[in-house]
A and B are shown apart, each in its own frame.
Chain A
Amino acid sequence: MRKIQVEQIISAVESLCIRSNIELPQDVRIALDKALEDEASPLGREIIKDIIKNTEIAKEEYIPICQDTGFAVFFLKLGQDVQIVGGNLNDAINEGVRRGYTNGYLRKSIVTDPFLKRVNTKDNTPAIIHTEIVPGDKLTITIAPKGGGSENMSALRMLKPADGVEGIKNFVIETVDKAGSNPCPPIVVGVGVGGTIDMTTLIAKKALLRPLGEHHPQPEVAALEKELLEEINKLGIGPQGFGGTTTALAVNIETFPAHIASMPVAINIQCHVARHMEVEI
């Protein structure tokens, strides 16, 4: 058994919280640069220029790209030969979040309960933690801070197997169309198909972690990603919804085997501040 001290996890998480909110992944920057070249609307190009300038200011000033520094969502891959010592794993993640959001001057956006008092927890805890046990003796921590504006435009539908691929396409287009300017386009569209409602939504969120421009390994799924991106960009919504040809930067689809009776589809919408960062301990 390899031993990992909780202190090591806490400081890794603290740093991930701060860095992921300030440093935009390179693949997103590349996608924005390409969007600036391709965008047909002059106002849309001005907006994309400001979006890029914003990411540069964030890095120079070392302040968050967006004030909504999100719900701290974690994906952990815990090697089965790892022993956590000095405390427990979930507490360590939450302590890292507490320190990161406080010491990094990030906004605390979490309230204690959803519909009673809604009192701010003041340290952005609790985090949302998805843990997978994997072979090996490493711990991989991925953070994907998720803003409320784009999350609110996400959707789930229990389609019938007979709805087929057309049903998936219609649902995705309808969801993006309805969201319009609300989720801060250009957006990234994460789609999960298959499994049960919990798995469908989980893989839709995981789809957002895949680098933009990288497609699903299955050619039919990759083709659907490309087709949906083209169709979404014909909606006319454009940067910030002011009209244009760049409504989405990418569509990433993940699939899971389905029950003979079901074809659930989840759509997780992500704004252009498509933040995520990974560290291996």
Chain B
Amino acid sequence: MAKTISSPLTEDIINELKSGDRVLLNGIIYTGRDSAHKRLVEMLNRNEELPVDLKGQVIYYVGPCPAKPGAVIGSAGPTTSGRMDAYAPILLEYGLKGMIGKGLRSQAVKDSMVKHGAVYFAAIGGAGALLAQCIREAEVVAFPDLGPEAIYKLKVENFPLTVVIDRNGNDLYATGRDKYKKI
């Protein structure tokens, strides 16, 4: 049974979520992938104010398809999180509390998550149509020149996710495999 949670995530929710939990997320999340991360971190390094305040927020690694006329957004599944590993610890230190993507994270990211109390969720890679249906509002809020890589503010409803790495550093990608590994 999936837990229903809302974003921004409270400290209590973060502490409650365990690796392997299925959740339905409601509320506001921000998109960001390779180019947007590069810019955000460059801005932080220059002590500039970010175009979106990510303190306490959740970021979704996605580059959606364009919306068809009348639609909120096009297909919008996760991209591979590992490409954001170089930037994630800096954003976590800044105050980011949740990341949504797919695929393995580095030890540095896991350590930073434990230190700062954050959660890594996976959305189903390749399920872009299903996930788009849970996005009720979408608005570009930064870097429009990046096209699909721009930062969107999304309002999601019952957005289906799995907790992969919890705030204690437990990683479903490791524990799940161990359970079924036969060679």
Contacts and interface: CB of A to CB of B under 8 A. Distances in A.
Interface string A91-134: 00000000000000111110000000010101000000000000
Interface string A54-80: 110110010111111100000000000
Contacts of B122: 181, 240-242
Given A57-B133, A67-B76, A243-B175, A43 B162 contact: yes
Interface string A218-245: 0000000000000100111110111111
A273 interface: yes
Given A40-B180, A50-B160, A245-B180, A105 B126 contact: no
A241 B74 CA distance: 25
A122 B66 CA distance: 12
Name the prevailing secondary structure of the A interface residues: loop
Contacts, number: 172
A6 interface: no
Contacts of A231: 183
B79 A236 contact: no
Contacts of A272: 126
A211 interface: no
Contact of B129 (A65, A235, A243): A65
Contacts of A68: 63, 77, 79, 128
Contacts of A235: 177, 181, 183
B147 A242 contact: no
B96 to A, nearest CB: 21
Contacts of A149: 79-80, 102-103, 125
Contacts of A41: 176, 179-180
Contacts of A240: 102, 122, 124-125, 162
B66 A107 contact: yes
A236 B133 CA distance: 31
Contacts of B104: 180-182, 241
B103 A241 contact: yes
A184 B172 contact: no
A46 to B, nearest CB: 7
Interface of A: 40-41, 43, 46-47, 50-51, 53-55, 57-58, 61, 63-69, 105-109, 118, 120, 122, 148-149, 152, 173, 180-182, 184, 231, 234-238, 240-245, 271-273
30 contacts: A41-B180, A43-B22, A43-B162, A50-B124, A54-B130, A57-B133, A63-B68, A63-B71, A63-B129, A66-B127, A105-B65, A105-B67, A106-B65, A107-B64, A107-B65, A107-B66, A118-B35, A149-B125, A152-B80, A180-B173, A180-B177, A182-B103, A234-B183, A238-B176, A240-B102, A241-B176, A241-B177, A242-B20, A243-B172, A243-B180
